[in-house]
Amino acid sequence: MPSGRRHLIRSLVKSPIARFLAIGFVTLVILTLGTNILATQAANREALAEAQTINEVLATSVVNPALPSGMAMGLVKGNAGSLDRFDRIIAGRLDLDSLKRTYIWSEQGVVVYSDRTELIGRDFGLTPEQQRVFDEGGTGQLVEGDPSTTAPALTAGTDNIVQIFTRIEAPNGTKLLFEGYYSLDGIEQRRQQIYEPFNFITVGALVLLLLLVAPILVVLTRQVKVAAFERERLLRGGLEASDAERRRIARDLHDGVVQDLAGTSFSIAAAAREPDLSPNVKTSLMSANQAIRDTLKSLRALLAEIHPPEIHADRLAAALADLTAPASALGIQASISVEGAETATDQQAALVWRVAQEAVRNALRHAQASTIAVTVRSDGKVLVLEVVDDGIGFAADAAPASDRYGLRGMTSLVKDSGGRLRVDSAAGEGTAVRLEVAVDE
């Protein structure tokens, strides 16, 4: 993948606006799907409830009033005159687009009236649900495909229907069951009519919320970025001021005390070479000269800590040697090995130096080591630093507070630079600090 595309992807992943919009989109999809399921179920129930209401209205307001006691008995007995009179009374009153077929059942399961005259008088029996409504009253339903649906002859010529039946009762107490076959297509249309406004309100509200919140988030993000930039500017200014002060102190020490001590060392060395000096005096002068030289090394190491030198990859070995210079005065044998560091950038070399500085400083101050080995190597892809000592080591939870602070600082520095830092140590087993950072191609 090209680096430009990778950078764009990283920018989008880190952008709070992109994250908000992504989370908002996922939330919108989840809520929309959940709302669709719940709304569909609710709309189906409502559409079927409306169909039941229509059937009840037809049963109680159209069919039942057209059935006086004598006519109801005539229908049950199959009287042709009663059937003809009833058909003329309700003719046209049951013409609804969603109503595909009508039946009136006797308690024995006989069709006493239907818009399909060839089925009148036939005994098909009642389904358990129809029998329940006959016994308890009210309204029931059977959806096409239900294993308890009625005989195929009753549903012949109809597709995708629901059967809804309501008990009616003539003035003389004769109980009948009015049944209508309603098209599920019509119910589905009604379901859509119920569902779509609700879906529009739900999804529209969520989309509107995203549209309203996104500009606010953009403004807030810009304000945060401005504040972060200002904070970074102030921090950078403070660091630059501190760096300038450290440079001044280091310059004054180098041009003053260090030069004076160096001159004193040369003078003492010259005086020690006088031929007429006694051996005791010459020995004292040489000891004093060595002490001054050791002090100079310590001062130069201190100057490097006060103001680190500008580190370049080709001068990394010399800079690391300066770091370990104080080791000899403490009786510690220090070794430096640098191979392949030329492929690293100056920024990576500076990172290696800073980590090595902290590791060597801790080893000199706390490790009680006899040897310190600083190794830098690179295979062209990864730059590796290892600082190993044979000191007393430490347990991770028992490290001195100053060491823990230094370790946290190193870890943060390495993480910000895209590298990996590992510190291995145990009581009595020395310490090994390992840094790995990818070499920029």
Tell me the DSSP string of 291-309. Answer: HHHHHHHHHHHHHHHHSPP
What tokens appear for 126 in the block?
Answer: 């009642």
Domain positions in the chain: 12-239, 310-441
The pTM (predicted TM-score) of the whole model is 0.42
The residues near 219 (Cβ < 8 Å, ≥ 6 apart) are none
pLDDT at 371: 92
310-441 folds as: Heat Shock Protein 90 (3.30.565)
DSSP assignment letter at 123: B
Stretch among 71-75, 173-177, 312-316 having the lowest mean pLDDT: 312-316
Burial class (CB in 10 A: 0-12, 13-18, 19+), 355: buried
12-239 folds as: Beta-Lactamase (3.30.450)
DSSP assignment letter at 92: T
What tokens appear for 146 in the block?
Answer: 């239900």
Summarised one tens digit per residue, pLDDT across range 14-59 is 666 667 667 767 776 777 777 667 666 666 677 677 888 888 888 8
Please count the CA atoms within 13 angstroms of the CA of 139 that sit on its side-chain side.
20
pLDDT exceeds cutoff 50 at 153: yes
Confidence bin at 110 (pLDDT 50/70/90)? very high
pLDDT at 178: 92
Confidence bin at 147 (pLDDT 50/70/90)? very low
Q: Where are the beta strands (DSSP E) in 272-391?
A: 333-339, 371-378, 382-389
pLDDT at 199: 66
pLDDT exceeds cutoff 60 at 181: yes
